[in-house]
A and B are shown apart, each in its own frame.
Chain A
Amino acid sequence: MGYTLTEKIIMRNTKKSSVTPGELLNVNVDRVMVHDIFAPFVVEKFREMGFEKVWNPDKIVFVYDHLVPTSFIEDFRHHKIADAFAAEQHIKAVHRADGVCHQLMPELRYVVPGQVVFGTDSHTTTYGAIGSFSTGIGYTEMAAIFGTGQLWIKVPPTLKFTINGELPKGVYSKDIILRILGDIGADGGTYKALEFGGSTIKGLSISSRMTLSNMAVEAGAKVGVIEPDEKTFAFSGVEGSQFQDLKSDPDASYEKVFNYDASTFKPVVACPSNVDNISDVEALLGTKIDQGFIGSCTNGRFEDLEVAAKILKGRKIAPFTKLIVTPASRSIYAEAAKAGIIGILVEAGAIMNPPACGLCCGRSGGIVSDGERVIATNNRNFLGRMGSPKSEIFLASPATVAAAALEGKIVDPRKYL
């Protein structure tokens, strides 16, 4: 009997010749990520547990992104505690204003294919896009990893999503994952691995694949993996020949297989206040919006800014409508500036936020008030996520958000493409 990609990564890590869904085992952690908001808690728990030295300072990455730049006087405490701990423990990888953790981890090659990685953030699933087993945990378990380098996991069963064919114009990986969420529900993947494959996925850029894996957790999944290929190896700067085991076997056993024809996908929106409350854009035409948001670890990459610029070029966003744009990392920001994309967005009336988490997690940079309605490219539209619980959040692709910002209402993005 064959194995799934997720099982293969676990087997590679544990050097076991077979694993079975449901089996509990300890994995050796290849890399961990802690962001600023939880850093003080990890440090506190690490000390409470009676540890003195971290297991390997070179495997720990600190990213300051939720509280960058600081919004309240108290915020700096998080950075101060993390800085002091990093100095004491000789942790060299500390990113103080370089971007959102889930963009930086793969971009800076802290994560490469085949690794087992944990982060103190649910969207750690993002790195499944480059063929790693990566998922979010709490700060207590992170403290235990800091001390031991190990964590127990339960081998998850896999749901496979095979998508073949060419995506229609105006449809992006965001539309794919939103539809899948609508089909299986916000708990449809609880404790499972989601695996995305097929010719459509092969055709996607690494950035677009990251959008899929990022939102796997919105179905409750443990990981959202994609088989690494030549694009992945080039992105990660590794020799593909060393990763030939990272493929699902033809006779691998899946809990369920979902087959999709790419031509049937349409631009869609997740309506308030659940990620699985999916509607076709066409059914929401004319819905008034007050603010658009393009950014986050889901959709703040170069191609996302590029498609927004394509739609906004030479146009102005609607009066009384705000459009907030947050590149996912400093290097994406710089690249987009060099390509003239930032200029186009600003000319159209966009407000540029620094590369960080701010608005997506409702912490800073465009918090919304009672009665306001937002259309956004991030991953959660939960009640009160971006500010007031009396606001409403719709989730969509960057193209759909840019088009909505132009007209101050939900419109079909395809007319601008």
Chain B
Amino acid sequence: MKEAFKGRVWKLGDDIDTDIIIPTQFLALKTVEDMKKYAFNPLRPELAAQIQPGDIIVAGKNFGCGSSREQAPEILAALKISCIIAKSYARIFYRNAFNNGLLLLENSELYDCCSEGDHVSVHLESSQVLLGEKSFEVASIPTDLLQMVEAGGLVPFMRKRNGK
């Protein structure tokens, strides 16, 4: 995991549910690559095409609420979002994200201070997010979870366990 990185902000609101992240009608598409074009389709159908690798999603509270569909974090990982910084996350999404190598950070103030299109830089070693001169603290991520994200998620972790 890169210890520091910078990215452009896409701003989403509170309670961004998994039906918004990827609606059920697209879940039977064969691959995550097919599905990722429909990220956030009900809310902002144009957004998926605009997201560039390294971009950062900044959101309000309860990001990822709703269903257990793991395609939600998977397509965000496939869009190469570098991390999400939300006020809070729903439980199943939180686990699914780390299991798929998607980094989630929590901060309750950044959302109200930044605008879409801003650039923020994330410094994992100091648990800080910088927006211009302003600094925001994020809860530090346990090392083993960070290592799992770095390894690409739970699959590589289990492969190692199975000696593959």
Q: Which residues of A contact B (CB under 8 A)?
A: 37-38, 41, 45, 48-51, 66-67, 72, 74-75, 77-78, 119-122, 124, 135-141, 143-144, 147, 186-187, 190-191, 220-222, 274, 361-363, 380, 382-385, 389
Please give the distance in Å from A221's CB to the nearest CB on chain B: 8
Count of residues in B whose CB is under 8 Å from the partner chain: 39
* Interchain CB contact under 8 A, B155 and A122: no
What string of 1s and 0s marks CB contacts (under 8 Å) between B1-38 and chain A?
Answer: 00000000000000101011001110110100000000
* Interchain CB contact under 8 A, A384 and B91: no
Q: Which single residue of chain B is at the shortest CB-CB distance from A385?
A: B19
Bound CA–CA A191/B88 (angstroms)? 11
Q: Which single residue of chain A is at the shortest CB-CB distance from B27?
A: A37
Which of A74, A138, A139, A363 has the most chain B CB within a 10 Å cutoff? A138
* Interchain CB contact under 8 A, A37 and B99: no
Q: Which residues of B contact A38 (CB under 8 A)?
A: 69-70
* Interchain CB contact under 8 A, A41 and B30: no
Please give the distance in Å from B66's CB to the nearest CB on chain A: 6
Q: Which single residue of chain B is at the shortest CB-CB distance from A124?
A: B68
Please give the distance in Å from B96's CB to the nearest CB on chain A: 4
Please give the distance in Å from B76's CB to the nearest CB on chain A: 13
| One of B19, B89, B100, B154 near A144 (C-beta < 8 A) | B154
* Interchain CB contact under 8 A, A389 and B43: yes
* Interchain CB contact under 8 A, A362 and B70: no
Bound CA–CA A383/B41 (angstroms)? 10
Known: A49-B159, A382-B19. 20 other contacts (CB 8 A): A37-B27, A45-B155, A49-B154, A49-B162, A51-B158, A78-B28, A135-B92, A136-B92, A138-B92, A139-B70, A141-B99, A141-B154, A147-B158, A187-B15, A190-B90, A190-B91, A191-B91, A361-B24, A380-B19, A385-B19
Q: Which residues of A contact B73 (CB under 8 A)?
A: 138
Interface of B is mostly: loop
Q: Which residues of B contact A75 (CB under 8 A)?
A: 28
* Interchain CB contact under 8 A, A384 and B23: yes
Bound CA–CA A382/B61 (angstroms)? 16
* Interchain CB contact under 8 A, A136 and B68: yes
* Interchain CB contact under 8 A, A122 and B68: yes
Contacts A48-B159, A138-B92, A384-B20 given: A186-B154 contact, CB under 8 Å? no
* Interchain CB contact under 8 A, B28 and A220: no
Q: Which residues of B contact A187 (CB under 8 A)?
A: 15, 61-62, 65, 88, 90
Please give the distance in Å from B14's CB to the nearest CB on chain A: 8
* Interchain CB contact under 8 A, B62 and A122: no
* Interchain CB contact under 8 A, A49 and B158: yes
Q: Which residues of A contact B20 (CB under 8 A)?
A: 382-384
